[in-house]
């Protein structure tokens, strides 16, 4: 555990003020670029940053009052300069500058750093955290305009002045009504909700059994078998889709000719099996990771008490590895629900899924309804990934890797 010491306030002129001036200059450059004067904005921002550093250093004991005052001041200036949209930007800038000023002037940048760290090591520690935050921002940032534009009152992909100024007439739910109220979108959504759960069930069943078998040390060639089993998530998807097309096309013809099955039913079978193949590697990986901390003496104890392998699996082993099974199932569901390339190769128009409809809409007609569909998919994915994280933490508690 890291050993910390009492935080010392760094020098104002040599440390806090230059850093705050540089940070505020970046915001000023961005704001000035909107008005065509980026350099002027950077200079004004640097001066404001230096002033904020001095203000915060002199009022370090009144953190809340000073920070809320900065937020209010930047919000008012932004609103007067560019309306409600600029006011919201001012709130964000004021929040960041206020927090950064106190973080630097109070010495809190060394709060989680061991006492023996040099200045260079402290700089690298905080720079690493900043880089991680920046990577996270660039991963999330492209989703924000999509979600924002999905509430556009107009029928095009553009931020209108009303939207930027947060005026009510610039926003509407009509694209969500188009998505939820037309067969053009409800049909593909229905197909996705049919294909994804069945494919997930198959992937979870086969992947869990494969993971349990491959976790046994006496299985010959288990590393090579594991590599083959997880290859669908390593091989480029276009190659997998091409191979599945040449495999499932004759299989579908044989099913139709031998059993008299309808073409539509066979199409669903092919897509479901193809998506199950894509989901099995995720189940194998998550269940295998859960089995690493599994105490195999429990299964031997159950066997010594007269339980057969099936009862031992469902009553002893499954409850302990259930978080990994559910996590793998959620990943398999997301993979199936968001997949489009394999469906294009293996399926037909009758198996058109929601991602397929979105792809067709982008290629043939640009409709903002696609943004509403994308927002719904993002929200569903966030909910599923949150569930995965909660299950991961539960699994760690059950295995004693983290405190309860």
Tens of pLDDT, residues 70-121? 999 999 988 888 777 788 888 999 999 989 988 888 888 888 888 888 878 8
> Band of the pLDDT at 3, cuts 50, 70, 90?
very low
Residue 328, in any domain of the structure: yes
324 shares its domain with 253: yes
271 shares its domain with 387: yes
Residue 153, in any domain of the structure: no
Which domain range does residue 321 map to? 175-398
> Which pLDDT does position 233 carry in this prediction?
86
Residue 164, in any domain of the structure: no
> Which pLDDT does position 243 carry in this prediction?
92
How does pLDDT run across 134-169, given as a tens digit for each residue? 888 888 888 888 888 889 888 877 888 888 778 888
87 shares its domain with 220: no
92 shares its domain with 208: no
How does pLDDT run across 348-364, given as a tens digit for each residue? 888 899 888 888 877 76
Residue 106, in any domain of the structure: yes
How does pLDDT run across 15-48, given as a tens digit for each residue? 889 989 999 999 889 888 877 888 888 999 999 9
Residue 316, in any domain of the structure: yes
355 shares its domain with 393: yes
Average pLDDT over residues 281-310: 83
Last residue of some domain: 109, 128, 147?
147
205 shares its domain with 132: no
3-state SS record for the chain: CCCCCCCCCCCHHHHHHHHHHHHHHHHHHHHHHHCCCHHHHHHHHHHHHHHHHHHHHHCCCCHHHHHHHHHHHHHHHHHHHHHHHHHHHHHHHHHHHHHHHHHHHCCHHHCCCCCCCCHHHHHHHHHHHHHHHHHHHHHHCCHHHHHHHCCECCCCCCCCHHHHCCCHHHECCHHHHHHHHCHHHHHHHHHHHHHHHHHHHHHHHHHHHHHHHHCCCCCCCHHHHHHHHCHHHCCCHHHHHHHHHHHHHHHHHHHHHHHCCCHHHHHHHHHHHHHHHHHHHHHHHHHHHHHCCCCCHHHHHHHHCCCCHHHHHHHHHHHHHHHHHHHHHHHHHHHHHHCCHHHHHHCCHHHCCHHHHHHHHHHHCCCCHHHHHHHHHHHHHHHHHHHHHHHHHHHHHHCCCCCC
CATH number of the CATH domain containing 319: 1.10.3720.10
Average pLDDT over residues 323-330: 87
> Which pLDDT does position 2 carry in this prediction?
42
> Which pLDDT does position 278 carry in this prediction?
94
84 shares its domain with 21: yes
226 shares its domain with 330: yes
Residue 156, in any domain of the structure: no
203 shares its domain with 244: yes
> Which pLDDT does position 72 carry in this prediction?
92
> Which pLDDT does position 182 carry in this prediction?
83
Residue 43, in any domain of the structure: yes
207 shares its domain with 139: no
222 shares its domain with 127: no
| Number of structural domains the chain divides into | 2
Which of 273-282, 343-352, 387-396 is predicted most confidently? 273-282
pTM above threshold 0.85: no
> Which pLDDT does position 401 carry in this prediction?
55
285 shares its domain with 321: yes
Residue 111, in any domain of the structure: yes
């Amino acid at each position: 555990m890291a050993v910390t010491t009492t935080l010392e306030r760094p020098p104002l002129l040599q440390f806090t003020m230059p850093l705050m001036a540089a940070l505020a200059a970046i915001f000023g450059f961005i704001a000035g670029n909107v008005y065509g004067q980026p350099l002027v904005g950077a200079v004004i921002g640097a001066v404001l940053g230096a002033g904020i550093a001095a203000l915060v250093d002199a009022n370090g004991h009144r953190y809340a009052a000073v920070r809320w005052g900065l937020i209010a001041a930047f919000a008012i200036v932004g609103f007067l300069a560019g309306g409600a949209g600029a006011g919201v930007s001012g709130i964000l800038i004021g929040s960041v500058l206020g927090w950064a000023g106190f973080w630097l002037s109070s010495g809190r940048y060394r709060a989680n750093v061991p006492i023996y760290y040099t200045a260079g090591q402290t700089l690298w520690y905080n720079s690493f955290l900043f880089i991680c935050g920046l990577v996270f921002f660039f991963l999330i940032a492209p989703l924000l305009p999509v979600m924002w534009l999905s509430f556009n009152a107009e029928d095009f992909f553009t931020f209108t002045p009303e939207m930027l100024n947060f005026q009510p007439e610039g926003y509407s739910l009509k694209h969500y009504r188009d998505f939820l109220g037309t067969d053009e979108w409800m049909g593909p959504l229905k197909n996705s909700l049919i294909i994804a759960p069945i494919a997930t069930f198959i992937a979870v069943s086969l992947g869990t059994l494969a993971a349990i078998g491959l976790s046994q040390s006496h299985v010959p060639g288990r590393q090579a078998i594991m590599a083959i089993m997880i290859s669908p998530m390593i091989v480029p998807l276009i190659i997998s889709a091409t191979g599945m097309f040449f495999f499932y096309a004759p299989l579908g013809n044989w099913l139709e000719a031998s059993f008299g099955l309808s073409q539509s039913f066979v199409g669903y079978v092919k897509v479901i099996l193809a998506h199950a193949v894509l989901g099995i590697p995720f189940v194998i990986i998550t269940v295998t990771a859960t089995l690493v901390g599994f105490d195999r003496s429990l299964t031997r104890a159950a066997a010594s008490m007269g339980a057969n392998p099936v009862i031992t699996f469902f009553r002893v082993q499954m409850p302990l590895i259930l978080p990994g099974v559910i996590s793998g199932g959620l990943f398999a569901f997301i993979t199936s629900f968001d997949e489009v390339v394999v469906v294009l190769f293996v399926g037909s128009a009758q198996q058109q899924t929601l991602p397929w409809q979105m792809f067709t809409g982008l290629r043939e007609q640009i409709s903002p309804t696609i943004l509403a569909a994308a927002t719904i998919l993002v929200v569903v994915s966030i909910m599923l990934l949150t569930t995965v994280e909660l299950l991961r933490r539960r699994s760690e508690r059950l295995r004693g890797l983290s405190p309860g």
